[in-house]
Structure 1
Amino acid sequence: MNARTLRRPLLRLSIPAAALLAVWAPPAAQASCGAASCNLLNDRFALGTWDRLGWSVDLRYESLTQDRLREGTHAISADDLPEDEEAVERHTRNQTLVTTLDYAVSPQWSFALRVPTLHRDHAHDLIDEDTGALGAHEQWRFSRVGDVQALVRWQAPAAPQSDVGWALAGGLKLATGSHSVANGDGSVAERALQPGTGTTDLIVGASARWVLGLADALTLQATATHALAERAGYRPGNRVDLSAGWSHAMSPVWSLMLQANYSQRARDSGEEAEPELSGSRTLNLSPGVSVAAGHDDLVYAVVQAPVYQQVNGIQLVPRYSLAFGWTHSF
């Protein structure tokens, strides 16, 4: 029995924590109104179960409230807004259930379908252009299915005695979410706030995973997202995501995890876009814990906290976000 075989039992239990450290399906863009989601994902590569054929499902609930105004890298208040500002953005509350269905057809190939169902509550106060006083209060509340993602991953065959693995991934974000949601007064929400962008986006990524000792694993990942064409006067900006994550098995049942994610989003474009109020650079740290509930089930909880936020113009940003999930293999 070699060293790699000896370390495999604990490693199989530590990798579920690393599942949360894989980010090849990036978050929704931060925009002036603050439509966003957590950038956490379970997949078979990070999970270490690419040689387990068949189905798995992941259900993840995310809660993220964007209620802080930021200009550049500085937090500001409503009193700091320029005189020509049209509205005071108050908040965008996002609650999302992300359902991911994964099927591994071989140790190298797997396919996934990711369906976000979101509830969004956004409010702002208009500013009277003549007096500068606060005017009408506008609000949008809706629950809709967002843009579905269809993804495929190729896992490189494992070399004998190797503790390093790597994979390539890609797919499409489909234009399934509505981009014309209106409130009770008939006012259509701005495009960055809508449940869907209206565009089909190409997603490509690469990742690598290292086994470190008996109970630790390190995951690195890079992803790029590009809208293939403009839709109804709107095209979301290109996005690049870089991620590094570590997991440690404290016991055969539960594990600790930590990830760092850097995201860079270019400005949106098109007649319906607000390029001066879109685009950002963010760095988040995400500590969490996972618990193995039997051989086929895993539950987890993660807190994501920003350590650096730089936005174009004035945008709403979050103080933190929460994610709770359950993964089951069939």
Structure 2
Amino acid sequence: MKTSFLAARTTRAALFSLLALGAYTEAQACPCGCVKICVDNLADRPAVSAAAPFVLDVRFDAIDQNERNDAAHAHWYGSHFLTTATVETQLGGQTWFLSVPRVERHLHTDKTAVGATNYDQTVVGLGDITIGTRFAWSGFTVNAGVKLPTGKDDIVFADPDGGLSRRYLQPGTGSTDVLAGIRKDFGAAGSAWSEFVQLQAEGSVASDANFRPGTTMSLGAGVRYKLTDNFAASLQGSLMRQFRDKNTMRLDPTTQRQVAAPTKSVYDEDLESGGLTTSVAAGLSYKFGAATSAYLFYSQPIVTRNYVAKSATSLVNPVHATAIWSLGLSHSF
């Protein structure tokens, strides 16, 4: 039995009416569900249509953080796997989306001191859900969204002395963020070449009294070339400025670290969260048909500048300055 247009529209309205209040804030959500370094597959996604009113994009990002800053700051290391499902539809002439991430981290300390105890821990959970909209304006594409505090932010890390206690390793930030940005696409109709440039920002508007994640701003650009009707190659670059997290939480006073340095916070490595990163990404995409496409990207940081060095000779290498493999599948239905 076919669903009538009115019934379909009513269903979409019911699904997304609760999103409108949050998305109205003119915030921008990255259209690709990014992991700090954002690669963009928007040009390769199937389009929403009356015959196929929904698009589902499932993306898997893998970060192998097995060596930090060429081993100059290797107190811990880990591997991170993020799976993000994004559903898009159209309502009122705009594209609306809901992104739900799953976060999985495998963390290990790497202490070399005599008698030191090393720890292993796996963190798995729902991340922070993003809701938002995308619409055309004067030749540009404006993106708007809100990231909600749905991910856990109070997991107790295994290392009592804080080796794994980085707040950014929690599945969620515990904050409500608005995301805002604008995008411009180039390329003549029928040309094998297309380009884009986009500016994005994310900032917290509500957080707990002791912790607020730092604001992130990024500038990205990319070029895409159609090798065949179904096969395309992309090259993208990004410049990301991430400001440091604000944190006033305290350690357990009985731990060795607190006794040795009572002024340190529970996440005393929050200096790692700030920096300026220049990255490049290369990718391939393939359309299996009008309704389905797949993509593979590799992102690599080229230059990382942390504005608070660990010492005179050592810079930190946080999660967002690590190579990322991204594999995704998009399908309209």
Q: TM-score scaled by structure 2?
A: 0.74
Counterpart CA distance in 2 for 1:301 and 1:315 is 24
Shift in CA distance, 166/134, structure 1 to aligned 2, threshold 3 Å: farther
1:59-116 Cα shifts (integer Å, max 9, x gaps): 011111223333xxxx5525xxxxxxxxx5231211111101111225x411101111
Aligned match of 1:277: 272
Counterpart CA distance in 1 for 2:156 and 2:68 is 24
Aligned match of 2:324: 321
Counterpart CA distance in 1 for 2:33 and 2:230 is 29
2:136 counterpart of 1:137: no
Equivalent residue in structure 1 for 2:300, among 285, 300, 305: 305
Contact 2:48–2:89 (Cα < 8 Å) also in 1: no
Aligned match of 1:58: 57
Aligned match of 1:24: 30
- Secondary structure, aligned partner of 2:168: helix
Query: What residue identity is the alignment partner of 1:116?
Result: P
Aligned match of 2:137: 156
Percentage of identical aligned residues = 21
2:181 counterpart of 1:205: yes
1:162-195 Cα shifts (integer Å, max 9, x gaps): xxx4111111110000001125678884322100
Contact 1:173–1:201 (Cα < 8 Å) also in 2: yes
What is the Cα-based RMSD across aligned positions, in Å? Answer: 2.8
What displacement does 1:261 show? Answer: 1.1
Aligned match of 1:92: 78
Contact 2:273–2:318 (Cα < 8 Å) also in 1: no
Matches of residues 156-305 of structure 1 in structure 2 within 5 Å?
156=137, 165-183=139-157, 189-212=165-188, 214-231=191-208, 233-272=210-249, 274=268, 275-305=270-300
- Secondary structure, aligned partner of 2:240: strand
Shift in CA distance, 37/195, structure 1 to aligned 2, threshold 3 Å: same
Counterpart CA distance in 2 for 1:136 and 1:55 is 51
Contact 1:103–1:111 (Cα < 8 Å) also in 2: yes
Shift in CA distance, 61/97, structure 1 to aligned 2, threshold 3 Å: same
Counterpart CA distance in 1 for 2:80 and 2:282 is 20
1:109-159 Cα shifts (integer Å, max 9, x gaps): 1110111101101122457xxxx64612123202111000011112137xx
More strand by share: 1
1:176-233 Cα shifts (integer Å, max 9, x gaps): 0000112567888432210000000010110010114611111110011111133251
- Secondary structure, aligned partner of 2:132: strand
- Secondary structure, aligned partner of 1:102: strand
Contact 2:29–2:179 (Cα < 8 Å) also in 1: no
Counterpart CA distance in 1 for 2:174 and 2:165 is 13
Q: TM-score scaled by structure 1?
A: 0.75
| Stretches of structure 2 lacking an aligned partner (at least 5 in a row) | 1-27, 250-266, 310-315
Query: What residue identity is the alignment partner of 2:167?
Result: R
What displacement does 1:48 show? Answer: 8.3
Query: What residue identity is the alignment partner of 1:304?
Result: S
Contact 1:66–1:93 (Cα < 8 Å) also in 2: yes
Contact 2:29–2:132 (Cα < 8 Å) also in 1: no
1:282-306 Cα shifts (integer Å, max 9, x gaps): 1111111101001100011111111
Shift in CA distance, 319/154, structure 1 to aligned 2, threshold 3 Å: closer
Deviating more after overlay: 293-302 vs 136-145: 136-145
Number of equivalences: 276
Contact 1:115–1:146 (Cα < 8 Å) also in 2: yes
1:27-53 Cα shifts (integer Å, max 9, x gaps): 87xxxxxxx55423444x775847777
Query: What residue identity is the alignment partner of 2:177?
Result: D
Deviating more after overlay: 289-298 vs 312-321: 312-321
Contact 1:203–1:225 (Cα < 8 Å) also in 2: yes
What displacement does 1:322 show? Answer: 0.6
Contact 1:96–1:119 (Cα < 8 Å) also in 2: yes
Counterpart CA distance in 2 for 1:319 and 1:226 is 22
Counterpart CA distance in 2 for 1:177 and 1:295 is 35
- Secondary structure, aligned partner of 2:212: coil
2:108 counterpart of 1:123: yes
Deviating more after overlay: 115-124 vs 316-325: 316-325
2:112 counterpart of 1:112: no
Counterpart CA distance in 2 for 1:27 and 1:307 is 22
Counterpart CA distance in 1 for 2:292 and 2:317 is 39
Deviating more after overlay: 189-198 vs 219-228: 189-198
